[in-house]
Amino acid sequence: GAVVSQHPSWVICKSGTSVKIECRSLDFQATTMFWYRQFPKQSLMLMATSNEGSKATYEQGVEKDKFLINHASLTLSTLTVTSAHPEDSSFYICSAPTVNYGYTFGSGTRLTVV
Partner 1 sequence: GENVEQHPSTLSVQEGDSAVIKCTYSDSASNYFPWYKQELGKGPQLIIDIRSNVGEKKDQRIAVTLNKTAKHFSLHITETQPEDSAVYFCAASRGAGGTSYGKLTFGQGTILTVHP
| Contact status, residue 77 vs residue 50, Cβ threshold 8 Å | yes
Report the site for partner 1 in 23-82 (rule: CB under 8 A).
31-32, 34, 42-46, 49
Q: Pick the closest to residue 29 from 82, 73, 83, 84 (CA basis).
A: 73
- Residues in contact with partner 1, counted by CB under 8 A, come to a total of 24
- Minimum distance of partner 1 from residue 16's CB (angstroms): 26
Please state, in angstroms and rounded to a whole number, the distance separating the CA atoms of residues 58 and 49.
6
66 vs 110 by CB, closer to partner 1: 110
Provide CB contacts within 8 A for 39, sequence distance 6+. 90, 91
Which CB, 82 or 112, lies closer to partner 1? 112
* Residue whose CB is less far from partner 1, 6 or 25: 6
Q: Binding to partner 1 by residue 105, rule CB under 8 A?
A: yes
Q: Which residue in 104, 81, 109 sits closest to 34, CA to CA?
A: 104
Residue ranges in contact with partner 1 by CB under 8 A: 6, 31-32, 34, 42-46, 49, 91, 93, 95, 97, 99, 101-108, 110
